[in-house]
Every structure is written in C-alpha cells, then in structure tokens.
Amino acid sequence: MADKVALITGVTGQDGAYLAEFLLKKGYIVHGVKRRSSLFNTDRIDHLYQDPHVENRNFILHYGDLTDSTNLIRIIQQVQPDEIYNLAAQSHVGVSFETPEYTANADGLGTLRILEAIRILGLEKKTRFYQASTSELYGLVQEVPQKETTPFYPRSPYAVAKLYGYWITVNYREAYGMYACNGILFNHESPIRGETFVTRKITRAVARIALGLQDCLYLGNLSALRDWGHARDYVEMQWLMLQQEQPEDFVIATGVQFSVRQMVETAAAEVGIKIRWEGEGKEVIGIVEAVVGEKGEGRGEKAGTAPAPGTVIVRIDPRYFRPTEVETLLGDPTKAKEKLGWVPRTSFQELVREMVLSDLEEAKRDELCRRGGFSTFSYYE
Ligand code: NDP
Ligand code: GDR
C-alpha cells in the first residue's frame, strides 16, 4: 500500500511539530502549511527539515494561511491528503481579546475554508479531517468534570471562534458524510510550548531567576485551575481519532487539576526554591523562603546566583487578567480511554520537570552569551 499522505496546518506550532515527528515515524508523507514571516519561523521543526533540492522527500512545507481560501484549495489540490490536521490558529486566549476579528477569521472561518476546499475538490470520501477543538469551549463550566456532552459556554473571542470551528466540523460530517471530527483537547504543554502561555512563562522565568538572569515573574490570575497534560501524548490521540471506523468527537484530558499558583510552586521546587506567599488577591507576592535540596543541575545556589531568602520573585500584574476568565477546567477522558485506549503517560510533575530542565539549558546558553559580552533575548510578556 502506498504511504499515507497527511497535511498539517500550524506545522510550525507546538502540536504541529510533535505531530509531524509522530506521523513521519509512522511512515507518512507529511506536508505542512507555514506562514510567511520576515524571519525564519521553523525552529520547532528544523530537525525535520529536508532540503527542497533533494528528491523523494517525505516532509514538505508550503506557504499558506488560513485566511486565504484560494491558497488552501491549491495546496489541498496538489497534496491530495488522506488526512488533514487543522492545528493552525491564533491560539492565545488573552491575545484574542485584542485581535478578536482576526481570531474569528483564522480560527472560525479558517476551519470552514478547509472543509469547503475538501468539498470543492470532491475529496469528501478520501480526506479525513481533524479539528483542533478545545476545553475553552466549556468556559463558564456547566458540569464538573467536563465531557463530550457537557454544554458549551465560551468566554473569549478565541473560544467563540473555536465554537464555530467545532460546529461547522460537526455540520459537514452530518451534511456531507465526511470523516470529520473534533478533538476537545484540554491544555497540553511541553518544552516547546509558546513562551507566553502560563506554564512556559513560569518554567522559563524560574530557570532564569535561578541563574540570576531575571528578577521577578509577573503573572495574572494565580487561582485559575487547569488540567495540564503533555503535548507529546496528545498528538497521538489526534492521529488515533482519524483511524476509527466512524468519526466521533473526543475529550482528551488527564482528569487531574492544578492551579497556576501550584504550577509556580512545582516549577520553583525543581530549581530548589521554596516559595512563601504573602498578601491577598492582586496584592499577593511570592517570596523565596529557602533555597533547598539537591534539585535541578542549574540550581542557582551552586553558581551563587540564587535569590536570597526574603527576595520577592513573583508579583501580580493586572494586565494579565482577562476581561472574562475561565476559572476552572477539568476533563473526563473516559470515552477516549474506552474507545481509543487513552492513557496519559506523563504526570504533571514529570511535565514540569521536563520543561524546567529544558529552560535551564536555554538560560545557561543565555548566561554564557552574557558573560561573553553578547546581549540576549529578555522579553517577559
Ligand atoms: P501554537 O500557537 O503553538 O501554534 C499555532 C500554529 O498556527 C502555528 O504554527 C502558527 O504559525 C499557526 N497559525 C496561526 N495563525 C495562522 C494562520 N492565519 N494561518 C496559518 N497558520 C497560522 O498552538 P498549539 O500547537 O499549542 O495548538 C495547536 C492547535 O490546538 C491550535 O488550534 C490551538 O488553538 C488548539 N488547542 C491547543 C491546546 C493547547 O493546550 N496547546 C488545547 C486545545 C486546543 P506561526 O508559527 O507562524 O505563529
Ligand atoms: P489558556 O492558557 O488560556 O488555558 O489557553 P494560558 O496558559 O494562556 O492560561 C492559563 C491560565 O493561566 C492564567 N494566567 C496567565 N496566563 C498567561 N498566558 N499569562 C500570565 O501571565 C498568566 N497569569 C495567569 C490565565 O488567566 C488562564 O486562566 C490554552 C491555549 O493553548 C489555547 O489555545 C487552548 O485552547 C487552551 O489552552 C485549552
């Protein structure tokens, strides 16, 4: 049988990179859609890159954008994919309040454009479609834990755009008999998570604070509760959803919940920093209580750079609060367990450790550059 062909939108993102690697290992020919940018934007997939001058490549990139129908039709026509994974999106909830129209266009209408392209090209029976839906659909939660049948109540322009993406996928499945399905994925993170999502912002800051490269971590809502898993585990489920006899929607989650505050404590503990909290609400601060234990290699104490006990290393900055917040999310992955054999392989502690260790490596490189008199990236959004 000929190799299967997959098309991934958002291939330069966190999930796109893990999924491309996963599908290549499975023997797929993988095509990815990347946006044009003024600088290279392929850091996460550079290890998979193949010289376009070489024949018989199995990893091929195309310029494209979810806001451009003709471009999408042309790529899909050329590629004739067996499977399309629609991972591209303006995926930052906070930013969606600042760019609501663009977010609706890319995340909502972008999904419609791909589904229509499949139909226009007469590929309804050939091409299977995966839509990156999200736990943000539950928003103001109506039921705990959340499962496939829990009613939606989106709380951001991002979530409202994704609601359209969810329902148009269901509609095309029902109207045209397409194999189209939604993965309702809860938060999933990794060392290549975007730096402005809260987990990565925390692990990166903690590593830099331990090495004396950063003084303070500024955060918004510390009480928000999330069900955090590892992206590597979740992309496998995206693929499995397209390998079933019938297309169905699935919740993918760990079923365990932690707060942003616990995330900070867990990450700080990885570099041997014990945090004490003082104050209430927006006045709360995180103070170094002690530098202890034999934790991560980059523990500042060794280099004489760990902040001294009593130093304030976490503060609240109101700019990171959202106009409407999703306070709590907790998934019930029972359906995925039963039908897809889903077992989350990575615990919260393992995930945080992997992220902190990777950010320590990056911070050490920055430290070396600084010692050598070179300036380094120090943007703390
Ligand atoms: P990222 O933000 O890391 O990646 C998003 C990708 O989409 C990037 O490749 C980005 O390109 C691309 N992109 C953005 N806008 C456009 C556009 N207009 N046209 C084409 N490509 C575009 O997200 P994740 O990998 O974390 O998430 C993947 C998908 O899953 C997203 O749709 C997200 O909304 C959804 N999701 C994510 C969850 C998570 O916890 N990670 C949970 C549930 C759903 P560039 O690199 O150029 O910016
Ligand atoms: P989320 O992820 O909004 O759940 O969306 P994010 O990591 O941005 O926020 C999680 C929670 O942390 C709170 N928070 C902060 N968030 C950020 N980014 N920065 C801060 O400084 C900060 N302080 C507190 C937030 O208010 C929120 O409650 C992610 C994205 O990947 C979506 O694309 C995806 O659909 C959902 O997960 C599931």
- Alpha carbon distance 5, 20 (integer Å): 11
Q: Which atom of ligand 2 is nearest to the CA of 329?
A: 4
Each residue's pLDDT, cut to its tens digit, for the chain (381 residues) gives 679 999 999 999 999 999 999 999 999 999 999 999 999 999 999 999 999 998 999 999 999 999 999 999 999 999 999 999 999 999 999 999 999 999 999 999 999 999 999 999 999 999 999 999 999 999 999 999 999 999 999 999 999 999 999 999 999 999 999 999 999 999 999 999 999 999 999 999 999 999 999 999 999 999 999 999 999 999 999 999 999 999 999 999 999 999 999 999 999 999 999 999 999 989 999 999 998 865 555 555 555 678 999 999 999 999 999 999 999 999 999 999 999 999 999 999 999 999 999 999 999 999 899 889 987 767 667
Q: What share of the chain is helix, strand, coil (3-state, %, to 5)?
A: 40, 20, 40
Using a 6 Å cutoff on CB, does residue 161 contact ligand 1?
no
* Active-site option among 28, 138, 158, 234: 158
- pTM reported for the whole predicted model: 0.97
- For residue 347, give Cα distances in angstroms to 191, 196, 227: 14, 22, 11
State the DSSP code for 47.
Answer: G
Q: So what's the ipTM on this one? A: 0.99
For the question of residue 28 being annotated catalytic, the response is no
Backbone conformation region of residue 353, classed left if phi is above 0, alpha if psi is from -120 to 50, else beta: alpha
Residue 309 to residues 131, 289, 294: CA-CA distances in angstroms?
Answer: 47, 5, 17
Residue 351, CB half-sphere, CA atoms under 13 Å: how many? 25
- Give backbone dihedrals phi and psi of 291, rounded to 5 degrees, phi first: -110, 115
Crossing angle for the helix pair 157-176 and 110-120, nearest 10 degrees? 20
Is 85 assigned a catalytic role? no
Per the DSSP assignment, residues forming a β-bridge with 134 are: 185
- Taking CA atoms, 46 is separated from 34, 90, 150, 282, in Å, by 13, 22, 39, 41
Is 158 assigned a catalytic role? yes
CA nearest ligand 2 atom 27, residue: 224
